[in-house]
Chains A and B, each alone.
Chain A
Amino acid sequence: MTDITAKAVSTRRAVSLSEGWFAWALIAPAMLFIGVIVAWPLAETVRLSFTDARLGGENWVGFKNYQDLWASARFFDTIGRTFFWMALSVSLKLVFGLIGATLLNAAVPGRGLFRVLVMPPWVIPVAIGCIGWLWLYNGYFGLLSGVAQRVGLTDGPYEFLAYRTSAFYSAIVTDVWVGTPMVTLFFLAAMQGVSRELYEAAWVDGANRWYRFRRITIPQIMPVIVSMALLSAIWTFNSFEIIWILTEGGPRGATTTLIVDTYKVAISSQRFGEGAARAVVIVMLLAVFSLIYLFFLNKVNKIYGVK
């Protein structure tokens, strides 16, 4: 047995010279494809952001697009709104995900079924789910307004998507709805990976459930919580379809996040140059945010002893 393993190892070593080439040959097609469809357009976006490109043609305008953005109070409003949107939505997703995973992890009959029932918002296309929400938010015929009237919360029909504040929070609820299943699923998987012995030891020592949750579950799944937070932050920041279908960024810009603003400028009004500048700002904001976050993640991982 050891003989064969030793032989295998030596065989592997003998061909290791070509291993790098072989590996790169395997990766090259995917890398090339990503290069053409993602990397090159990204470079092109940067270039376009220095031009006044429209459908007709383009001229080099230097930093003008960026200066315009810098001078625009509305753009800074949009940035602020986007980060608020991200912070609130991600926090809710994490809290709901944690609650949901804890519930689905409880040893009660039927949990297998419940785990399946949590997933549909993730399975179906976001756009289809949004059509359902569109109807739920309808003031005259939707269930939410209908129930509110029946219970006496509102006197008449309430159009959730017609007012600035309610439209914003309605969009958040839908975004949380879309994102929660995935977060729940990952937290649940992490919870199931926590060694039972830890719980048993604590239980023998008389620790109650809440204590075990705080002092065992949370620390043990902390790395997953932290990385899911980053992933959902990026997804939420980039979330486009939900807002576009529910409100198209309205009413009066109340739900216009950076990504929606970029789409409106670049695609709807076909002002490519100005749109590209916005896209570059998005990429830079996300990159800076992720770097800061990863720095923080490293510290957390050290605290919790993950390599």
Chain B
Amino acid sequence: MMDRYTWPQTIGIYACILVFLTFILLPFFEMFMASLRPLEHLFRAPYQFWSDDFSFGAYSRMWDTVPLLGRYIFNSVFIATAVTAITMVFVVPAAYAYARLDFPFKNASLAIFLGVNMFTGAVLLIPLYRVLRSLGLLNTYWAMIVPGVAFLIPTGIWLLRSYLEKIPRELEEAAYVDGATRMYTLRRVVLPLAVPGLIVVGSSVFIGAYAQQFLFAITFNQTRAYQPLPAGLFEFIGYQSVTWNEMMAAALTGVLPVMLIFLFLQKYLVAGLTAGAIKE
């Protein structure tokens, strides 16, 4: 009863949702439309919404125009995967400690981790550049992976911690009673129970890693063959004759991997991300 809307109200709500979603989806719509237009049509004024010469040609020609496109997409996925794997190795033990154990400087050290969120890479680029240069990592995949991991560890710890806190303690305590060591309990009792949480946090980290590559790539990597998609495409924007329709096609194709992951896991991702926002 309380939730029932009158007809005008329902129509009003849908109209507002439509406006809201138009704002959110407009760039995607525009990119898609641009990718369908033949180049000579793209530069035709005045602007036309619709025309009968739409084609998917750009989606096949883009592989020739941007010869490294496949490589860029691979790089993006590869870097994001490596960042995710390494981040999780650091995050899992730390998140467990914050979720379960009492120890000196617990809150202070957690605050330090979360403080990292206050900086973007941009503030630290100069010395990071030097660190990476002295380690000989400039212009390699590592130049993009290493800083990426550092800036995702705090979020990862935060997300996984709130997940682990929800796993009942009793099972672990039973394992202690049976004489299991702490490490054994962590590996054999906690981790198997935490698999859904690990997947959620892992995919969030992956999406983050996919999204943050641009800055590190344009700053720490000059090797074209290692460039991730955003940086690879950005390079093309500077050219005199940008084949915009193919650019748009390439950009849309390049976000497919991460969009697919999101679509498959969206329900869990949303719940996992907002776990801290809801009162227990």
- A interface residues, Cβ below 8 angstroms from B: 4-5, 7-9, 11-12, 15-16, 19-20, 22-27, 29-31, 33-34, 36-38, 40-42, 44-45, 48, 96, 99-100, 103-104, 106-108, 114-129, 131-136, 140-143, 145-147, 149-150, 157, 177, 180-181, 185-186, 188-190, 192-193, 199-200, 203, 224, 231, 234, 238, 240-241, 245, 259, 262-263, 266-267, 272, 275-276, 279, 282-283, 286-287, 290
Decide: A147 and B10 in contact? CB cutoff 8 A: no
The reply to whether B47 and A185 contact each other, CB–CB distance below 8 Å, is no
**Considering the chains assembled together, what is the distance between the CA atoms of A257 and B89 in angstroms?**
36
Q: Given the complex of chains A and B, what is the CA–CA distance between A157 and B46 in angstroms?
A: 8
**What residues on B are CB-neighbors of A26 within 8 Å?**
93-94, 96-97, 101
B55: A residues at CB distance < 8 A:
none
| Bound Cα distance from A294 to B233, whole angstroms | 40
CB pair B126 A135 closer than 8 Å:
no
Q: How far is the CB of B10 from chain A (nearest CB, A)?
A: 6
Within 8 A of A (CB), among B112-148: 112-113, 116-120, 122-131, 146-147
User: Do B24 and A177 touch (CB < 8 A)?
Assistant: yes
B43 contacts partner chain A, Cβ-Cβ < 8 Å = yes
Q: B63 on the interface (CB 8 Å rule)?
A: no
CA A31 – CA B157 in complex, angstroms? 11
Complex CA distance for A125 and B26, rounded to whole angstroms: 16
B28 at the interface (CB under 8 A from A): yes
Tell me, yes or no, whether B163 is within 8 Å of chain A by CB. no
How far, in angstroms, from A234 to B97 measured CA to CA in the complex? 27
Measured in the bound complex, the distance between the Cα atoms of B125 and A41 in whole Å is: 8
B259 touching A124 by the CB < 8 A rule? yes
**Top 10 A-B pairs, shortest CB-CB distance:** A146-B47, A132-B27, A189-B274, A127-B230, A37-B150, A44-B127, A8-B173, A26-B93, A41-B127, A23-B103
- Taking CB atoms, residues of chain A closer than 8 Å to B10 are 108
> Complex: how many Å from CA A262 to CA B230?
22
Closest residue of chain B to A189, judged by CB? B274
User: Do A224 and B122 touch (CB < 8 A)?
Assistant: no
Could you say which residues of chain A place their CB within 8 Å of the CB of B3?
Answer: 107
Q: Let me know if A38 and B124 touch, CB within 8 A.
A: yes
- Would A199 and B2 count as touching, CB distance under 8 A? yes
Q: State whether the Cβ of B231 lies closer than 8 Å to any Cβ in chain A.
A: yes
Q: Give min CB distance, B5 to chain A, whole Å.
A: 7
Q: Is B42 an interface residue (CB 8 A)?
A: yes
**A-contacting residues of B (Cβ < 8 Å)?**
1-3, 5, 10, 13-14, 16-17, 20-21, 23-28, 30-31, 33-34, 42-49, 76, 89-91, 93-94, 96-98, 101-104, 106, 109, 112-113, 116-120, 122-131, 146-147, 149-151, 153-154, 157, 170, 173-174, 176-177, 182, 207, 210-215, 219, 229-231, 233-234, 237, 244, 247-248, 251, 254-255, 258-259, 262-263, 266, 270, 273-274, 277-279
Chain B residues near A40 (CB, 8 Å)? Answer: 127, 131
Contact of B215 among A16, A135, A147, A241 (CB under 8 A): A241
Partner of B153, one of A15, A34, A42, A272: A34
- Contact across chains for A135 and B2 when beta carbons are under 8 A apart: no
Contacts of A5 in B (CB 8 A): 173
Shortest Cβ gap from A297 to chain B (Å): 14
A186 engages B123 (CB within 8 Å): no
Q: How far is the CB of B272 from chain A (nearest CB, A)?
A: 11
Between A and B, 21 residue pairs with Cβ closer than 8 Å are: A26-B94, A27-B94, A31-B94, A33-B149, A42-B123, A45-B126, A48-B127, A103-B16, A107-B5, A120-B24, A123-B258, A126-B211, A127-B233, A135-B244, A141-B34, A146-B46, A185-B274, A192-B278, A231-B117, A259-B120, A266-B126
Closest to B4 in A: A107
Residues of A within 8 A of B113 (CB): 30-31, 34
User: Which chain A residue lies CB-closest to B279?
Assistant: A193
Is there an interface contact between A117 and B47, defined as CB atoms closer than 8 Å? Answer: no
Q: How far is the CB of A233 from chain B (nearest CB, A)?
A: 10
A34-B150, A128-B255, A266-B125 known; A108 vs B13 contact (CB < 8 Å): yes
> B278 near A240 (CB under 8 angstroms)?
no
* A108-B5, A118-B24, A145-B47 known; A136+B30 contact, CB < 8 A: yes
Q: Which chain B residues lie closer than 8 Å to A157 at the CB level?
A: 45
Chain B positions within 8 Å of A41 at CB level: 124, 126-128, 131
User: In the bound complex, do residue B124 and residue A143 qualify as a contact, i.e. CB atoms below 8 Å apart?
Assistant: no
A241 surroundings in chain B (CB, below 8 A)? 214-215
Are B24 and A128 in contact (CB-based, < 8 A)? no
